[in-house]
Amino acid sequence: MRRITSVLMLAGLCAMPAFASAASYQNVAVVDVSCSKRVAADPDSHTRDCALKCSGDGFGIITSDQKFLKFDAEGNARITEALKTSSKKDHLRVNVEGDVQGDTLKVTSIELL
């Protein structure tokens, strides 16, 4: 009985990474959570000033099929810093990689374009 339980537990632990899938998004719009629905149809019109003003709720990307994936805490910190040092006014685009877990992107790398 212990052997069966051990095997089942091991199988369950091995299956855990299957719930997260690695993803790479190139040249996608980055917006804050607060404005994500409002600007989904035209995310390039969303300004850097607005994004920083509304940054308290976090950020994410709008994919080509207009799906919004929000960033994890690390991704939020990285993009906030990038936006603060950027001189771009709008057309906020990124290349980002990470693991998709539900509607959240656990960011492993991000580059503001």
pLDDT value at 18 more than 80 = no
Once rounded to an integer, what is the mean pLDDT over residues 75-88? 97
Tens-place pLDDT, residues 22-69: 999 999 999 999 999 999 999 999 999 999 999 999 999 998 888 999
* Whole-Å CA distances, 101 to 19, 31, 70, 79, 88: 7, 19, 10, 19, 30
pTM of the model: 0.79
Residue found under tokens 């404005």: 35
Once rounded to an integer, what is the mean pLDDT over residues 85-105? 96
Separation CA 21–CA 33 (nearest Å): 22
What is the length of the chain? 113
